[in-house]
Amino acid sequence: MKSKIIGFFITVLLAAVMFFVGTDKRMAGTPVEGYQVYLNGNKIGLIQSKNELYKLIDTEQKEIKEEYDADTVYPPNGLDIEKVYTYNNEMVSAESIYNEIKDIEPFTIEGYTATIKYTEKQIMNDGDVIEPGPPVSVYLKEKDIMKEALYKVASAFIGKENLKDYENKTQVEITDVGERINSVYFEETITVKKDLVSTEEFIFQDADTLSRYLLFGTLEKQKSYITKEGEDLEKIADANSLNIEELLIANPQYPSGSVLLSAGEEINVGLIKPLVRVVYRTTVIKDESVPYKSKTVKDSSKYMSYREVTQEGKNGISRLTQEIKFINGEIQSLDISNAEELVAPVDEIITRGSKKEQSYWGTYENTGNETWSWPTLTPFYITSRYKWRWGRQHQGIDIAISNGHGSPIYAVKSGVVTKVNYDKNKNEGLSVTINHRDGWYTIYMHLSKINVKEGQEVSKEQKIGGMGCTGSCTGTHLHLGVYKGEPYRGGQVVDPCNKEVYGC
């Protein structure tokens, strides 16, 4: 009897367990398919159809379609949708998800991301050294916009017709003198890939806008100037701290600086700060003037007050073949591969009396105005003149010669060395300053070595150092600075090529 009672309770217990298990199964039902939506890694809801959300975004964002002429508008880049199977019946509508995200993250459209990657440090023409910066991303509606914009940038520096002739292989062959482009490329690595681009970014839709951005480094409107009657581009450039080449780059509508202007023309006088560097190499064959030298002879039969030019000096002419590398319109390096003397220079001979004459005032000696001699070997080429460059005044001229590293640098006049800089890390590099005792001072920069010391007397055409590229420089050359008065202590900088000095 007892065993029967125990069996009954076990039967009842098993039945109860089976009843509750069966009830749970019926309550849970079959798992349903859904889509878990994440925004920037955070769960924001579970929806039944992701296509419904996509369609809602595309339908509602009509303004984006009109602004960018886009066929489809896509979810934000931070939106992720993951397919799940769940017993959770807490589904939300696609509309509620749309309303939650539309004011948080921008939507996207089909476009392209262009990346400008910098690999080389830049030594700017003002002496500043810029290390390679982080890549710059540019967003495009169409892929070909970047190609067209880069072509416009290259044309601004090289010239539209010159670039066209190079591209079409229709450059005129050099016979006696002339110029030929050998190669054109950009120093940066530029890639373009298809992408979903956020409408929060500035998306370039035409090549003109993009080319201006690549030239000026900003989307801000540039400073402009309205011309007045009788003005010319040279004066406008100088008044706005630009050289004429920079002004023409910023205003490609003008083929040269000699264009006649009308009153009321609007000119871009903004300072270009290119995001890319256009590199082009040319061969140039041209005839250059070779300055004559001045020699002094003594005549013991004449008094010391006597000075006469007994032979007029005449410049010579050399035909130079130059291999030049330009970056953004500025000469980066220059090599003279051949020099042919067409006309030999004729020395100027100055006869001076050496006979002393006594007067009440004592011994009289008139040394006269000494002629300036050239500081380098010839033939030479002035790679950069005294002018505005990138918003700063280039206070001197840069002189290069073929295979110039270590070639002698000469004092242009006699005087005393007042300063020698041995610090190669300064912008000027190894340098020498000479006081010529007639109010004139000269500075010789970027030397490879120095052959004089402070306080030393030097004579005209005495070797004072070697040509080099110390400090901040873009290639072997001599930077020659000329001052009236002591440099950086009230002295006035003078263009070495004006008529008072070389007239070059």
pLDDT digits (tens, 9 = 90+) for 130-145: 677 899 999 999 999 9
Residue 217's pLDDT band (cuts 50, 70, 90)? very high
Kindly tell me if the per-residue pLDDT of 406 is higher than 60.
Answer: yes
CA–CA separation, 111 and 442 (whole Å): 57
Cα atoms in the 13 Å half-sphere on the side-chain side of 83 = 3
Contact predicate 159/167, CB 8 Å:
no
Contact predicate 112/195, CB 8 Å:
yes
CA distances from 192 to 29, 119, 141, 277 (A): 51, 17, 12, 18
Tokens, residue 178: 């002339």
Kindly tell me if the per-residue pLDDT of 476 is higher than 60.
Answer: yes
Q: What integer best gives the mean pLDDT of the chain?
A: 86
Kindly tell me if the per-residue pLDDT of 127 is higher than 60.
Answer: no
Looking at residue 486, its pLDDT comes to 92
pLDDT digits (tens, 9 = 90+) for 61-73: 999 999 999 999 9
Q: Of the given ranges (1-10, 286-295, 369-378), which has the lowest mean pLDDT? A: 1-10
Average pLDDT over residues 203-231: 93
Query: Coil, helix or strand for 21?
Result: helix
Looking at residue 25, its pLDDT comes to 42
Which residues, in sequence order, are CB contacts of 150 under 8 Å at separation 6+?
Answer: 186, 190, 211, 214, 276
Instruction: List the domains of the chain with CATH numbers.
Output: 32-105 (no CATH), 115-268 (no CATH), 278-368 (2.20.230.10), 371-504 (2.70.70.10)
Contact predicate 141/68, CB 8 Å:
yes
Looking at residue 475, its pLDDT comes to 80
> Parallel, antiparallel, or unpaired: how do β-strands 294-303 and 348-355 relate?
parallel
Residue 357's pLDDT band (cuts 50, 70, 90)? low
DSSP 386-453: SEEETTEEE-SEEEE-TT-TT-EEE-SS-EEEEEEE--TTSTT-EEEEEE-SSSEEEEEEEESEE---
CA–CA separation, 395 and 36 (whole Å): 67
pLDDT digits (tens, 9 = 90+) for 93-112: 999 999 999 989 999 999 99
Cα torsion at 281, 285, 287, 288 (round to 10°)? Answer: 30
Question: How many C-beta atoms surround the C-beta of residue 128 within 10 A?
Answer: 12
pTM of structure: 0.75
